C-alpha cells in the first residue's frame, strides 16, 4: 500500500476551509490519483480519527504566462473529509 503521506499532501487552510471545520469537515490537498477509500484510510491512520465521508474535487491548474510562453499550473485534487460525530478533531488545523 501507498504511504499515507503520499495521499494526504497537506492541509488546505483558507477562509472557506476554516469555516468548514465548524461542520466537522477538514480539507486537504491530496494526491492526484488518490481515491476516496485511500483517503479515508490515510486520514484515519495519520490523525487517529473516524471518517464518515470523503468528497473529492479535481482542481484545474490556473492559467499562467511567462513572457510569450503560456502554460498552466499543475492540476491537483482537493478532499473534504467529514468526521464521525464524536470523533476527536484534527489538531493540525488548530
CA distance 7 to 27: 13
Task: Candidates 9-17, 37-45, 53-61, 81-89: pick the segment binding another protein (CB under 8 A).
Answer: 9-17
User: Which one of 3, 71, 85, 94 is in contact with another protein (CB under 8 A)?
Assistant: 94
Smaller CB separation from another protein, 21 or 41 = 21
Identify the residue whose cell numbers are 478533531: 89
12 belongs to the binding site for another protein (CB under 8 A): yes
Q: Which parts of the chain fold into alpha helices (H)? A: 4-7, 15-21, 36-47
17 belongs to the binding site for another protein (CB under 8 A): yes
User: Which one of 2, 5, 10, 18 is in contact with another protein (CB under 8 A)?
Assistant: 18
CA distance 45 to 49: 8
Restricting to residues 53-82, which ones interact with another protein according to CB under 8 A? none
CA distance 42 to 9: 11
CA distance 5 to 16: 24
Q: Which residues bind another protein (CB under 8 A)?
A: 12-15, 17-18, 94
Amino acid at each position: 500500500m501507498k504511504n499515507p503521506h503520499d495521499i494526504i499532501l497537506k492541509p488546505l487552510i483558507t477562509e472557506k476551509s476554516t469555516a468548514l471545520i465548524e461542520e466537522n469537515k477538514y480539507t486537504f490537498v491530496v494526491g492526484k490519483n488518490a481515491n476516496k477509500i485511500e483517503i479515508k484510510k490515510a486520514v484515519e491512520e495519520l490523525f487517529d480519527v473516524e471518517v464518515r465521508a470523503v468528497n473529492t474535487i479535481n482542481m484545474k491548474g490556473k492559467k499562467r504566462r511567462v513572457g510569450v510562453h503560456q502554460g498552466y499550473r499543475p492540476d491537483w485534487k482537493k478532499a473534504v473529509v467529514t468526521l464521525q460525530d464524536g470523533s476527536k478533531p484534527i489538531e493540525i488545523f488548530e
